[in-house]
Amino acid sequence: MIDSHCHLDNPQFDPDREDVIDRGLAAGVERMVVIGTGDGPPDLEAGIRLADRHEPIYATVGIHPHDASKATPETYKHLAELLKHPKVIALGEIGLDYHYDHSPREVQRDVFLQQMMIAGEAGKPIVIHTREAWEDTLALLETYWRPRGLSGIMHCFSGNPDQAALCVDLGFYLSFGGIITFPKSVEIQDAARRAPADRILIETDAPYLAPVPHRGKRNEPAFMVETARRLGEVRGVTPDDIASATTRNFDRLCGAAGGPC
């Protein structure tokens, strides 16, 4: 399996990061994508630092919507440079978060757009974070991303089946995380059931959103076994089927972008 989205740079892993990676590998998570947003600009290398040290780790670079206010012209220049790193597979996570509003919405939209331009120029996929902002996210993707003909990942997909269909039509992969194991996630499960087999991915978003039965605890890649099991149940296939489909999909997404995976 491939954990398409985790934050192993998070200080919560400082005491036992190596063990966490080893437990993930032992559980069958053979590659992990560490999202490089960290604490925001000027540091853009939170993911790269880990990818440089660990063979199974790949990285992204990007400015999280929470940190949009910290972006400067220098940040964009640096981002474009880092995108060329051999283990950077995508630009992300980028998008809009109207739940927390840590940065003004106008600034979030501008920084999202600027980063779509950078990824588009580089021919790299983007990783989308969207929370309580579906309408604006889809509208911006429609206008600025669709014409590029490039792909991307809807990270921790938490929309309904209609939103899932729109994302698939935009060329995106739907990445399902621990939320799918929560009993109340009926709509997300419905979206997961109907999603095309060639467009699904799985992730942990560790240390956040641990799946049942670890809910509420620190999440880690090894727990993705539970997410794969639940996704399999929902779709009426085995966890092995989920593992092979999501791995194949990840490799296709990376390969299409000339990526390293």
Q: How many residues bind Zn ion (CB under 5 A)?
A: 4
Judged by CB, which is closer to Zn ion: 108, or 239?
A: 108
Judged by CB, which is closer to Zn ion: 216, or 258?
A: 216
Site for Zn ion in 56-95 (CB under 5 A): 93
Q: How far is the CB of 224 from Zn ion (least distance, A)?
A: 14
Nearest residue relative to Zn ion (C-beta): 129
Stretch that binds Zn ion, among 28-36, 101-109, 219-227, 244-252 (CB under 5 A): 28-36
Given the structure tokens 């499960």, which residue do they identify?
189
Q: How far is the CB of 178 from Zn ion (least distance, A)?
A: 12
| Beta carbons of 56 and 21 less than 8 angstroms apart | yes
CA distance 84 to 214: 37
Residue 58 CB contacts under 8 Å (≥ 6 apart), including other chains: 31, 32, 33, 34, 51, 87, 88, 89, 260, 261
DSSP helix/strand/coil, 174: strand
- CA 24, distance to chain mean position in Å, is 17
Q: How far is the CB of 35 from Zn ion (least distance, A)?
A: 5
Judged by CB, which is closer to Zn ion: 96, or 235?
A: 96
DSSP helix/strand/coil, 93: strand
Stretch that binds Zn ion, among 27-35, 66-74, 139-147, 215-223 (CB under 5 A): 27-35
Binding mask 90-119 for Zn ion (x = CB under 5 A): ---x--------------------------
Q: How far is the CB of 206 from Zn ion (least distance, A)?
A: 9
Judged by CB, which is closer to Zn ion: 93, or 226?
A: 93
Q: Which residues of 151-169 are buried (b: 16+ CB within 10 A; e: fewer)?
A: bbbbbbbbbebebbebbbe
CA distance 51 to 70: 24
DSSP helix/strand/coil, 160: coil
Instruction: Please identify which residue in 17, 124, 129, 230 interacts with Zn ion, judged by CB under 5 A.
Output: 129
Binding mask 188-227 for Zn ion (x = CB under 5 A): -----------------x----------------------
What residues pair up with 57 in beta bridges, in sequence order? Answer: 32
Q: How far is the CB of 241 from Zn ion (least distance, A)?
A: 26
Judged by CB, which is closer to Zn ion: 141, or 235?
A: 141
Residue 90: what are its φ and ψ, rounded to 5°? -165, 170
| Beta carbons of 251 and 261 less than 8 angstroms apart | yes
Residue numbers at the binding site for Zn ion (CB under 5 A): 35, 93, 129, 205
